[in-house]
Each structure stands twice: as C-alpha cells, then as structure tokens.
A and B are shown apart, each in its own frame.
Chain A
Amino acid sequence: MPITKREVEKIAELAHLELTEEEKEQFTVQLAAIIAYVEKLNELDTTDVPPMAHAGRDERADYAQRDDVVGEGLGSELALANAPDPARGYFRVPKVIEEG
C-alpha cells in the first residue's frame, strides 16, 4: 500500500497532531518505508494459518479472568492529585462543544 501525503494528513488529524509541511514530507517517506518493510510478511504463504488476534493466545476457557470482587480504588482525592485543574471533585477541562 503506497503512502501519500494525504494519508499522513488524515492520520495526523485523527491523532489531533498539527504537522508542518516539512514534517508531512518527512513522515510520508518514513511511513512508506515502514509499511514496505512490514509488507515483507506478505511473501509468506499463510493459507492454512488462522488469523491471530493476540500473541499470548491461549485456548483455555476462562483464561486470565478475575472474580467479581470490589477492591480498593484510588478514591477521588488521589485520583485528582495530578489533575491540572480539578474542581468540585471533578476533572475540569476546557468547554467541550462537540459530541460523540
């Protein structure tokens, strides 16, 4: 898949990143190189290999699950300790106008 400047702009927008023109050019080249490298994997024949969602895939049912027991959390004071602008027990952020 060839990477164009348009792709880079879209990815940057989705990531809320503002890139300069030079950065866009630079990342287009770099991303294209990374994709080309990963595409080497397509040279392998994977006809009989089922898709793998996770490296640690384990076929056991109930694997790595926890019981429904309430534990000690941080509590609101500690949760807000590093918040830049807490107020009334909440995280306060600049007004959000967009929904969803």
Chain B
Amino acid sequence: MAKREEYEAVIGLEIHAQLKTRSKIFCSCSTQFGDAPNQNTCPVCLGLPGALPVLNREAVRMAAKAALALGCRINRVSVFSRKNYFYPDLPKGYQISQYDQPFSEHGEVEIDTAERDERGRPLAWRRKRFRIRRLHLEEDAGKSIHDGMPDSDRASYIEFNRSGVPLIEIVSEPDFRSSWEAYDYMQYLRQALQYVDVCEGNMEEGNLRCDANVSVRRRGTATLGTKVELKNLNSFRFLQRALEYEINRQIEVLETGGEIVQETRLWSEAEGRTYVMRSKEEAHDYRYFPEPDLPPLVVSEEWIEEIRRELPELPNHRKWRFMEQYGLSIEDAATLTSTRALADYYESVVRETGDPRTSANWILSELMGLAKAAGIEPFASPVTPTKLAGLIRLIAEGTISGKIAKTVLEEMFRTGQPAETIVRERGLVQITDAAHLEAVIRRVLEANAAYVEQYRAGKEKLFGYFVGQVMRETQGRANPQLVNDLLRKLLMGG
C-alpha cells in the first residue's frame, strides 16, 4: 500500500496485570487459578449485602514495586472509587477501582524497539521512551462462560473465583507509532513485572491482558484522529496482528473517503480481522464516586524509599550492562536477561569461568537447546552454574574437545554429574599426545592408500575424510587442531 507511508498510527495501551498475592485484594479468599468454580468465594467477593472490603497490604506493596519499576510517582494519598455498570460477573454492580486520585502517575520506560521484516526479524534496534499516564489498583470481575455448555444458546454461566483478585491497570500515553513499538513495550512490561516479582505474566491464564486505543493521522499533523478501542488482544501475536490490521483498515477507510467511527472492536484470530462489538447505543457512564467502605490509601515517603531500595536491577539496564560489560550482541544480551533467573545463572557462570563470550555461547546454543527439548527452564536443569563452568574449564584446559564437551553436557543434563566425573569415568580425555596421534594417523593413511594417492594428485577435499577417519578411530577424542597439523605434515611428507 503506497498510501501507508503517508500515515502514522497513534496507539495507547491499557494493560491489566494480576498481582501474585495469595489472597484477594479485599477479602481472604484464595487467588489460586484452576480451582473448582466458585470454590474461592465469600460474602465480600460475591457482593452479598453487608459485606465490607479490607485492603490487602501485600497488593499495595506489589503495586508500589510495579509503579517504581515503571518510573511512576506514587501518590502519598490515593482514593478507591466505585465504577458502576451492570454485568452478571460483577456481583456488586460496581467495580472497586481508582479514578481521580490514582495510586501512581507519570511513569516512563526507555526500551529497545525495532520494526520487523515480513518474517518477523528485527530490522534496526533503537532506544525509545514511552510514557505511562497512570498505574492504579483495582479488583477483577468474575468470569462469564457463554459457550460450550449444552444450553449455551439460552444461558450464560458465571463463576467468582476471579472476582476480587488484585489487578493493576497500567495506562500508557498514546506514544506508540507502530504495532511493533506497542509489541516491544508490552514485552518489556511483562518482563519488568516478572523481574520485580509481582505478576506471573501468563497471558494464556489471563493474568496479563491488553486493550488498545488506535487512531491514524497523516504524518506531520498534530491533531489526533478518531480512536477505536481494540479488545481481546490476549497474546503478543494477537496484539501486533490486530494493531497492524486495524491501522491498515483505518487508512483504507480514510483513503476511500470514509470516516472513522468511534467504536469498540474485537480481534478475531480465526478470521484475522477486527469486527465491531455489539454494544449499547449510549456511551458508558460509569458514575464514579469515592468508595465509602474504604478509607483513602495513605503511604509514607519512607515506605516508598524502602521499596525502591528493594528493587532489583531492571531488565533493560541489565541487558545494556551485559552488552557493555560482557561484549554481547543485543540479541544475546536480550535472551540472557529475558528472566532474572537466567541472567543470574549466566553471571554465576561468568564469575567462575572469567569468559563471558564462551559462557554465553554454551548457555545460548547447547544448554538452552537441551532445556527446551526437555521442556524446562535452563536455570532449572541439573547443570548448575558451577557444573557448567567446570565443563567450560575442561575445554579451556584442553582436557576435552568442544565436540566431546557437547556429549558430556548431555550426560550432565541427564544425570546431574559434574563434567570431571563423566570425562574420567567414560575415558573421554582428549588425546593430545602427538606420538600417539601420529601412529593413529599413519594407520589411517595406510588403510586408505588409494585416497592418499588421489589427495596428493590434487583432490584436496579428501582432507576432511581423513580427519573423519582419525576421529572415528579415537572416538572423537583427538585434539582437532593437532589432527589437522599432523595430517597435513604426514600427507605432504609421507
């Protein structure tokens, strides 16, 4: 679409993240996912008359960690408000949220972002700042099931295990200019919330959800176009694809002389398009007012500073430090800092080997491959950082070859034994004795006299064949460099 270049998108994201408290935000019911329907309920989260909410202080603490990780200013006093609307999974007829005095505001994150080619590969990475308007506390609603029951054509099923689970709503400023910027921000948010240990970040289980506001305008204009709200963006892929579709749809409408209608649209992954959600004609009027059953939420400066001191190094800074300190590429640094546990694992290995490059390679290519095949996280494998460092040391010292080391790592992964033990017990020590190797090579050359003739007559690619034969004779234990040198010498001289 040639016209595509003349427009830019203006996107804002609203992200709901479930805080990983044990109990709900205003009652002591369990937040356990996957329990029998309505098992974790009480008068408070069922909205029974007379029940009163009491705020979970751990939810406040987690919200504060999230707010500080995202550069937000925490308000000394914030106020809970009732957001009134009718829906069967909202038992009180209102959601306890925050409105005009939110928990925190004015955040900002600086992250790496890149457009992608048609195969999803990043083009040029660049750093960009995205502002966060507010981050506030609220309760989740229950869950409605509209499909899949025998009488789903005439009934909906409701359960309240999720009702009252603590959420933070993170509202960005409309700072994203492309679907990939929104995607990279969403990825970063999830990672940051996991780093500060307040959200599982599992979109399939619904503990991270995303809505978007999208409009388009001609490049260079400052006015905002009419915005459309997109819902149901419950995976990173959906988010990016839905935004891309919606941006193109709006440009198409404008280019054909149409007008954008302010509406809410849902993404359908099956059809690969957005469609208008059935909705009431009148605009929503939530009639917010202060929640009379909860006092204002007051926090002290000392408390905020205490939490700030507890924050770990955040994922973007850790990635940039890895690039600078260890000389890693942005991709390798990003993978190694994808979770705190993996980044800790890597740094433990580096501390013992003193070789950041080799340590990164062994984790990224070999260990992660094995872990992926076994369906576990690399840092959770029996190969502890000390054991992986032990393996790397054996290679550095020339005790085993890199090729043998791969076999040893597989064994370590399976049994949890240290590399030294495996190498000793299975006789895998590298052959670096030149006299020994020379004898092997002579045997190989004698047995392949015809090939030796051909090699000497100019068929040089036979060299690899000889190397292979020597490796076979030594069960792969021969020092490769030594084999090369000796072979060359013996083939030349005879």
Contact = CB atoms under 8 A, between A and B. Distances in A.
Interface of A: 10, 13-14, 16, 53-76, 79-80, 87-100
Interface size class of B (residues with CB under 8 A): 35 or more
A58 B37 contact: no
B38 A76 contact: yes
A69 B23 contact: yes
Nearest to A60: B298
B59 A68 contact: yes
21 contacts: A59-B298, A64-B294, A64-B295, A65-B54, A66-B56, A68-B21, A70-B28, A71-B42, A72-B28, A73-B29, A76-B38, A88-B37, A89-B38, A90-B38, A90-B158, A91-B159, A91-B160, A93-B156, A95-B146, A99-B277, A99-B279
B41 A73 contact: yes
A53 B296 contact: yes
Nearest to B159: A90
Nearest to B76: A61
Contacts of B28: 66, 69-73
A73 B39 contact: yes
Instruction: Tell me if A's interface is mostly helix, strand, loop or mixed.
Output: loop
A89 B37 contact: yes
Nearest to A67: B57
Contacts of A16: 86
Given A65-B57, A68-B23, A100-B277, 18 more contacts: A65-B55, A65-B60, A68-B22, A68-B58, A69-B22, A69-B23, A70-B23, A71-B27, A71-B28, A73-B28, A74-B43, A89-B36, A91-B38, A92-B155, A93-B88, A96-B88, A98-B278, A99-B278
B40 interface: yes
A99 B295 CA distance: 32
Interface stretch (B201-209, B285-293, B417-425, B467-475): B285-293
Nearest to B60: A65
Contact of A100 (B54, B264, B282): B264
B180 to A, nearest CB: 28
B303 interface: yes
Contacts of A94: 154-156
A89 B54 CA distance: 27
Contact of A64 (B54, B101, B156): B54
Contacts of A92: 155-158
A58 B298 CA distance: 8
Interface string B1-39: 000000000000000000001110001111000001111
B79 interface: yes
B149 interface: yes
